[in-house]
Structure 1
Amino acid sequence: MLVDSPKSGWKATFVEATFADGFITTTPVQVLPEHYPTQAPPAIEPACKTLSDKDQH
């Protein structure tokens, strides 16, 4: 299965198959593109912000 990279942001996909005997299996999740940001996004208070190391302790 080929998945195109989005023009912006990321896209995650996986496939789940259910067989006649009830067995269910899934593929690993694939996230595209395979590069990640090098800096934190701007905060959108209060709903979304990047936690600093001091906020996580």
Structure 2
Amino acid sequence: MNSITERCVQTCQSELLDRTLIWNQHHLPHALREFETYYNERDSVAPSTRTNMRHEQHG
């Protein structure tokens, strides 16, 4: 699980945070949600070979 989390953070940093100016605390969660939607819906990688950014929590 740790490697999946590290990969998500690295992807988010390289594809979003390195290219986006975050204005305030309200803007960051909005930008992350937009990136999550983009990441999970993009067509460049087959859905069966990628990991969704948001995982279901096991309770």
Taking structure 2 as the reference length, the TM-score comes to: 0.24
Greater relative contact order, per chain length (Cα 8 Å cut-off, separation 6+): 2
Comparing both structures, which one devotes a greater share of its residues to helix? Answer: 2
Larger Rg computed on CA atoms: 1
Taking structure 1 as the reference length, the TM-score comes to: 0.24
